[in-house]
Structure 1
Amino acid sequence: MAGTTTAERGERQQESSGPPSGGRRPRLRLPLRLRLRTIIILAVVCVLLAGGGIWVLYGSPWARVERVTVSGTRELTRQQVEEAADVPVGAPLISVDTDAIEARLRRELPRIDSVDVVRSWPRGIGLKVTERTPVLLMRSGGKFVEVDDDGVRFATVSKAPEAVPLLEMTVSRSGSAAASLCRFDERRLTREAVLVADSVPARAARALRVVKVRSYDDISLELSGGRTVAWGSAEQGRAKSRTLSALMKAAPGARHFDVSVPTAPASSGS
């Protein structure tokens, strides 16, 4: 029998070594029925996972509100905050309307300046409260109305907090003062008084007892020891503060200071 020729040996070697260099190997494709079965199984798994997640969040007893925590209060009590918040204990935690709770707290408790309602998974609601701080007080009968740094009258107390000056509104309703009141209502004048109190230099602030408002541009201060300051309007607060500091240092025995025009200050009395 004749031996294998050189050409035949070359063909067999090429067949055994696969496709030529740079050629593509044929892809292994799953049968259509197997691919459909895989897709259906994956879809069922996704539906089951989604349904299980929804049940855990809304239907299971593991993610329902069981406790409410309150932090940040000073004057308010925990009970007051909890009652005003009216958190739906027992409801699914995911369904609690935190915005509605915040709005309810601010409406029911004006002393609250801001509040952050947070979900504490898996079973809690946290109420982080920031209370308003009084910077001025207004007399109301035998009590005091607290005013914050935005000019908001937020609470009435029977005892005046220490080191908080009084605000006296003595606006006349006749003449030029009446015209000022028509242009700047009491709410605006209250904010102006707050600006003045905030601008008073530290040395005078420690002695500040009363801020008197007669009109927008007629605000004065009463300090301890019978001393007074004519401040004018709340405008140029920084310049007036620097001028008052210099006057009090230059004339420590003076009883009356006028910084209503900070470029032409005056002091008198001794």
Structure 2
Amino acid sequence: MSTQTARRRPASAQRRRPSRRGPARHVVVRRRVVAVLVLLAVTAVVCAVWFTPLLGVRRVEVLGTTELTADQVRRAAAIEEGAPLVRLDVDAVVGRVRELSRVAGVRVERELPGTVRLTIDERTPVAVVKLPDGAHLVDATGRDYATLEQPPGGLPELQAEPAGTPAAVAVLTGLPEELRREVLLVTATTGSDVKLALTAGREVRWGSSADTPRKAAVLQVLMTRDGTVFDVSSPELPTVAGG
């Protein structure tokens, strides 16, 4: 009896162990259906965003223009209405807008559900070059970017050879505002012979664009003296002539 009892106990103990069967079949099926539905929903959303006009471009907003019009910028940007917003090639838009000669820079922003915002940085003229076909505006980089029939007031004239243009513009843009207002003409044939013609028939021999802030400070002191020609090409040894 003891031997039979011993043999029965493992079987009895095994029958008392909790069942380890997996989830019921209907639970598995339900989980798979939910997973498929979620996948289909995600796919539908992705397709709607990437391939349909649901989140397409509806408005192109232009900010920062002064001389350019918003329509000129929109035409240059060539953003197709209804094009999916998330697929917009921002770099291509920037490249097209920057082909406008007056544009120095542009920032493109996308705003859901369908707005593209273009913020324009227009070039600012620092001098004018007078040529037979009109007055050419030059910005702080030395770029000739626009032509007008008449030169605008308040801008100095630039007469420079290509080799001297960068230095001439660098000197002009490096002057203090109160001194820049007195400049009527900037000339240069090379990068080391920049000259400024000021109001009241005064002339400044500037030399190169090196040490422009220091030369400007020296010039402002020299101009307290009588004279018509001020030489600051060597700021350590400035001179005044005429008077």
Residue matched to 2:232: 259
CA-CA distance at 1:86 after TM superposition: 1.1
Q: Are the aligned partners of 1:139 and 1:145 in contact in 2 as well (CA < 8 Å)?
A: yes
The C-alpha deviation readout for 1:35-72, integer Å capped at 9, x for no partner, is 64354234213312212212331355431222211110
After TM superposition, the structure 1 = structure 2 runs for residues 5-154 of structure 1, keeping only pairs within 5 Å, are 30-31=22-23, 33=25, 36-37=28-29, 39-107=31-99, 109-154=100-145
Residue 117 to residue 28, structure 1, CA distance change in 2 (3 Å) = farther
Residue 158 of structure 1 and its aligned partner are, at CA, apart by 1.9
Is contact 1:201–1:245 with CA below 8 Å preserved after alignment?
A: no
In 2, Cα distance between equivalents of 1:97 and 1:191: 34
Deviates more, 1:113-122 or 1:157-166: 157-166
CA–CA separation in structure 1 for the residues paired with 2:145 and 2:127: 11
Identity %: 34
Matched residue type, 1:248: M
User: Structure 1 residue 27: deviation in Å?
Assistant: 10
Change (3 A) 1:88 1:61: closer
CA distance in 2, matches of 1:151, 1:42: 65
Segments of structure 2 that go 5 or more residues without pairing to the other structure are 1-17
Q: Give the partner amino acid of 1:52.
A: A
1:198 aligned residue:
173
- Letter in structure 1 aligned against 2:80: P
User: Given residue 50 of structure 2, which amino acid in structure 1 is its aligned partner?
Assistant: Y
Structure 1 position 209 matched with structure 2 position 179: no
Q: Secondary structure at the match of 2:146?
A: strand
1:243 aligns with 2:218: yes
Deviations 1:68-95 (A, max 9, x none): 1111001111121111111111222222
Asked if the contact 1:66–1:123 (Cα under 8 Å) also holds between the matched residues in 2, the reply is yes
Aligned: 1:228 with 2:224: no
Tell me: CA distance 1:28–1:247, structure 2 relative to 1, closer, same or farther (3 Å).
farther
How far 1:128 moved relative to its partner? 1.0
**CA distance, structure 1, for counterparts of residue 94 and residue 192 of structure 2:** 38
1:203·1:245 contact (CA, 8 Å) conserved in 2? Answer: no
Give me the CA root mean square deviation.
2.2
Structure 2 Cα separation of the partners of residues 213 and 29 of structure 1: 93
TM-score, normalization by structure 2:
0.84
Distance in structure 1 (CA, Å) of the matches to 2:198 and 2:25: 93
**Residue in 1 that maps onto 2:5:** none
Question: Deviation digits for residues 114-143 of structure 1, max 9, x if unmatched?
Answer: 111222211222111110111121122141
Residue pair 1:201, 1:244 contacting (<8 A) in 2 also: no
Q: Describe how 1:160-199 pairs up with structure 2 within 5 A.
A: 160-169=151-160, 171=161, 186=162, 188-199=163-174
> May I ask how many residue pairs the two structures share in their alignment?
226
Deviates further, 42-51 or 58-67: 58-67
C-alpha distance in structure 1 between counterparts of 2:222 and 2:177, whole Å: 14
Q: For residues 154-202 of structure 1, what are the alpha-carbon distances to aligned partners after superposition, in whole Å with 9 as ceiling and x for unaligned? A: 2222232322211102x5xxxxxxxxxxxxxx1x522111111122233
**d(CA) in 2 for partners of 1:213, 1:90:** 52
The answer as to whether partners of 1:218 and 1:233 remain within 8 angstroms in 2 is yes
Q: Aligned partner of 1:154: which letter? A: Y
More displaced stretch, 150-159 vs 51-60? 51-60
* Shift, 1:110, TM fit: 1.6
Letter in 2 for 1:205: R
Which residue in 1 is equivalent to 2:13? none
| DSSP 3-state at the match of 1:91 | coil
